[in-house]
Each structure stands twice: as C-alpha cells, then as structure tokens.
C-alpha cells in the first residue's frame, strides 16, 4: 500500500510544471546536489566523464537523453536529432553507443507517423556508429502503441533495437511471448508508473512473482535479456535459475540505475556477470528523478541521508 501511494504521489509531482521550474534552477548547480545522485549531468561533457568512470569499473552503459511527452513536431524532431548527435559524440569519445529512448519524446503523442519517422532517424544514426537503441516503456496508456511501433520497424529490418517490459502489468506475459517470437532483446523491469488495479498488480509480492515468472521465460526463450532490478531477491532468483539451467552468466545481463547500489554492481561484476548502468543526462531530468524516488519509499530517505556525504558516481 505504501509503495502504491508513493508511486501515485511522485507521479503527480513529476508532472508539476512549477516544481520542474524550481528544480531546474537549483537541482544541478552543485556537484553534490540532490539530483546528481540519479542523473549524470546536463551536458554531453558531463555524460562522457560519468560513462568513462563507469567503464573503468568494467561496467557497460546505456545513455538516456532525458525527455518525454513532447507535443510539438519541431521539438520531437529536435529530440531525435539530439540522439543522433549523442551517438556521434559517444563514438568520437570512444564510449558506449547504447542508448535508451522514450517514444513520447520523439512524437508518439503527436501521431504515429511522426514517431515512426523520428525513430527511424535514431536507428539509422545508431547503425552508422554500431549502436543499439532500447525503447523505454512508459505508462500503460502507451504500451500497445510502443510495441506496435517497435514491431513495425523491426519487420522492415531495424533489428538494432530492444524494448522494455514491465512485470507489474497483467498483460506482460503475452507481450514477452510476442517480442520473443520476433527475436527482440527485452529489458525486464518491475515498473515505475502508478497504474490502475485492473491492469496492474499493486502488491509487491504479486509484482515480484510476475517478475520471476517472466525472468524464467526470458532466460529460457529470450534473446540476451536484461534483468533490470536492484532487488537482491530478484537477482538471487535469476542467478539460481540460470545455474539450474546451466546457463552461462554471459547469456544475459543485469541492469542497474545510475547512482544506486554501487555495492551490488561490484558484487555482480566480481561474479562474472555482465552489468549495464542506465545513465540519464540532460536538462529534462526532473520527471525522471521524481519517479525514481516514487519507486520505493526507501529511496527518499536514502537520498536525503546521502546528500553532502557520498560522492557521485564520477
């Protein structure tokens, strides 16, 4: 119940224009500011520095140029072109060209054609530098459109991309089967959005049970799946299932959020597990930051306790 209330409250805060303006003035000004716990910075230079520090620790990365729910065609095109520039800059710097994109950032709220055209631009830019594009999953109102857009481009040859599935949604088992049939790479997450009870599980034990069931399907029938969680129980369940099936630890990867559970990252790397860190950056960081706090009530106390005391990932 507490987790559901936390998600709902922080979802409302994430959409607050007033809070976003205030946060944009103060949230990134200091090296140890509150937002830098979760966000690498606002510029490409800050991103490159953060990624190099992570890669020095034998970690892989995926880069997220933050933004969502764009309703202007020029802004959607600009976001797609920004991603192209991010990948070019990353290639020039010799860092990861693996990126994560939200479809509402590149036109899904405008119309399907705009979104598809801009996603093709991002995928073409990724092809030019040997990059990979992960399509982030947004709230449940976008799930069908996101998967339809993904499948449309996959079937015409854009296979340098993967997608995200949320275990909290009741529909996800069929979505996993659908993506597995395509041959797509899936990132499995629990889900960060406040969803209605009729389409999503609300109790943690139900979300966890669904996560484990989907993880087992992905490790058995998937295509280099990404298990994205900070929950030690979910990680232990994944490692136990992989061992029982005699799967090499390189058959899948774990994904963790930037700034969280660096102890866990080190432990997994020491065990020989591929680990990828989701590294967000850019000026549109406030909604992302709010949702990270809302995912778990413990995150709020965790961030407050760490302010001014613990160095950021860099």
Give backbone dihedrals phi and psi of 49, rounded to 5 degrees, phi first. Answer: -60, -45
CA distance 126 to 86: 10
- Cβ atoms of 165 and 187 within 8 Å: the answer is yes
Confidence of residue 313 (pLDDT cuts 50, 70, 90): low
Contact 12, 139 (CB under 8 A): no
Q: What percent of the chain has pLDDT over 70?
A: 82
The strand pair at 60-65 and 253-257 is best described as unpaired
Report d(CA 50, CA 95) in Å as an integer.
10
pLDDT-based confidence at residue 284 (cuts at 50, 70, 90): confident
pTM for the predicted model, two decimal places: 0.87
Classified as helix, coil or strand, 110 is coil
Q: Could you list the active site residues?
A: 136, 187
In CATH, what number is assigned to the domain containing residue 7? 3.20.20.220
Q: Which residue has the higher pLDDT, 24 or 100?
A: 100
Is 33 a domain residue? no
Query: Does any domain span residue 76?
Result: yes
Distance of alpha carbon 34 from its chain centroid, rounded? 20
Secondary structure element (H or E) that encloses residue 189, with its range: strand 185-189
3, pLDDT greater than 70: no
Q: Is residue 42 part of a domain?
A: no
**CA 55 to each of CA 7, 49, 62, 74, 279: distance values in angstroms, whole numbers, following the listed order:** 32, 10, 11, 34, 12
Token representation of residue 24: 């944009």
Q: What is the pLDDT of residue 311?
A: 47
With respect to residue 36, please indicate whether it lies within any of the assigned structural domains: no
What was the pLDDT predicted at 53?
Answer: 97
Confirm if 313 and 54 have CB atoms less than 8 A apart: yes
How far, in Å, CA of 265 to CA of 124, rounded?
Answer: 32
15-48 residue pLDDT tens: 555 455 545 555 555 555 667 778 999 899 999 9
pLDDT at position 308: 41
Nearest alpha-carbon partner for 187 in 219, 162, 153, 216: 162
Is residue 49 situated within a structural domain? no
CA nearest to 252, candidates 234, 279, 226: 226
Three-state secondary-structure class, residue 163: strand
Cα–Cα–Cα angle for 275, 280, 282, nearest 5°?
160
Average pLDDT, the chain: 88
Looking at the predicted structure, is the pLDDT value of residue 50 above 60? yes
In this prediction, what percent of the chain has a pLDDT beyond 90?
A: 75
Asked, for residue 29, whether it belongs to a domain, the answer is: no
Question: Would residue 300 count as lying in a domain?
Answer: yes
Q: Using DSSP, state whether 28 is helix, strand or coil.
A: coil
Q: Which residue range is the domain that position 81 belongs to?
A: 2-23+59-304
Q: How many domains does the chain have?
A: 1
Which pair of tokens denotes residue 109? 């709220």
Domain-located, residue 270: yes
């Amino acid at each position: 119940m507490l987790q559901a209330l936390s998600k709902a409250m922080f979802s409302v805060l994430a959409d607050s224009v007033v809070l976003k303006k205030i946060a944009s003035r103060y949230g990134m000004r200091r090296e140890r500011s509150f937002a830098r716990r979760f966000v690498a910075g606002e510029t490409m230079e800050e991103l490159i520095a953060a990624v190099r520090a992570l890669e020095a620790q034998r970690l892989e990365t995926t880069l997220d140029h933050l933004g969502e729910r764009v309703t202007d065609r020029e802004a959607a095109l600009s976001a797609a072109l920004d991603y192209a520039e991010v990948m070019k800059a990353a290639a020039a710097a010799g860092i990861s060209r693996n990126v994560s994109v939200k479809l509402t950032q590149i036109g899904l709220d405008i119309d399907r054609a705009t979104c598809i055209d801009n996603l093709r631009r991002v995928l073409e830019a990724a092809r030019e530098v040997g990059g990979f594009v992960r399509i982030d999953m947004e709230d449940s109102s976008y799930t069908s459109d996101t998967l339809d857009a993904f499948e449309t481009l996959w079937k015409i040859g854009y296979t340098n991309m993967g997608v995200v599935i949320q275990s909290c949604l009741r529909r996800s088992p069929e979505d996993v089967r659908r993506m597995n049939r395509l041959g797509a790479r899936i990132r499995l997450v629990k889900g960060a959005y406040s969803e209605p009870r009729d389409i999503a599980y609300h109790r943690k034990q139900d979300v966890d049970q669904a996560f484990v069931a989907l993880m087992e399907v992905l490790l058995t029938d998937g295509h280099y799946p990404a298990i994205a969680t900070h929950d030690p129980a979910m990680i232990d369940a994944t490692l136990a299932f992989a061992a029982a099936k005699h799967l090499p630890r390189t058959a899948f990867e774990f994904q963790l959020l930037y700034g969280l559970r660096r102890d866990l990252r080190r432990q997994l790397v020491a065990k020989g597990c591929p680990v990828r860190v989701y590294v967000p950056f850019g000026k549109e960081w406030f909604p992302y930051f709010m949702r990270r706090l809302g995912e778990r009530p413990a995150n709020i106390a965790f961030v407050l306790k760490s302010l001014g005391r613990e160095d950021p990932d860099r």
